[in-house]
Amino acid sequence: MDLINSSVSEFTELLASKTSVPGGGGASALVASIGIALGDMVGEFTVGKKKYADVEPEILKLMEKSQKLRVDLLQCIEDDAVAFEPLSKAYSLPKEAEVRDDIMEKCLRDAASVPMHILELACEAVDLQREFADKGSVIMISDAATGVAMLQGAIKGAAVNVKINTKSMKDRAYANDLDGRVDTLVKEYVDRADSIYNDVWNRL
Which domains, from first to last, does the chain contain? 18-203 (1.20.120.680)
pLDDT of res. 181: 98
List the beta strands (DSSP E) in 67-159: none
End-to-end CA distance of the chain: 43
Amino acid in the structure at residue 127: D
pLDDT of res. 89: 78
Give dist(CA 79, CA 21) in Å, integer: 11
pLDDT of res. 85: 82
Q: What is the pLDDT along the chain (204 residues), one digit of tens a residue?
A: 689 999 999 999 999 999 888 999 999 999 999 999 999 999 999 999 999 999 999 999 999 999 999 999 999 999 999 998 888 777 777 777 778 888 999 999 999 999 999 999 999 999 999 999 999 999 999 999 999 999 999 999 999 999 999 999 999 999 999 999 999 999 999 999 999 999 999 999
pLDDT of res. 1: 67
pLDDT of res. 70: 98
Please classify residue 156 by burial: count the beta carbons closer than 10 Å to its beta carbon, then call 0-12 exposed, 13-18 middle and 19+ buried: middle
pLDDT of res. 118: 98
Give dist(CA 7, CA 28) in Å, integer: 17
Give dist(CA 27, CA 161) in Å, integer: 11
pLDDT of res. 98: 73
| Nearest alpha carbon to residue 76 among 15, 9, 28 | 28
The per-residue b/e assignment along 158-192, b for 16 or more CB within 10 angstroms, e otherwise, is bbebbbbbbeebeeeeebeebbeebeebbeebbeb
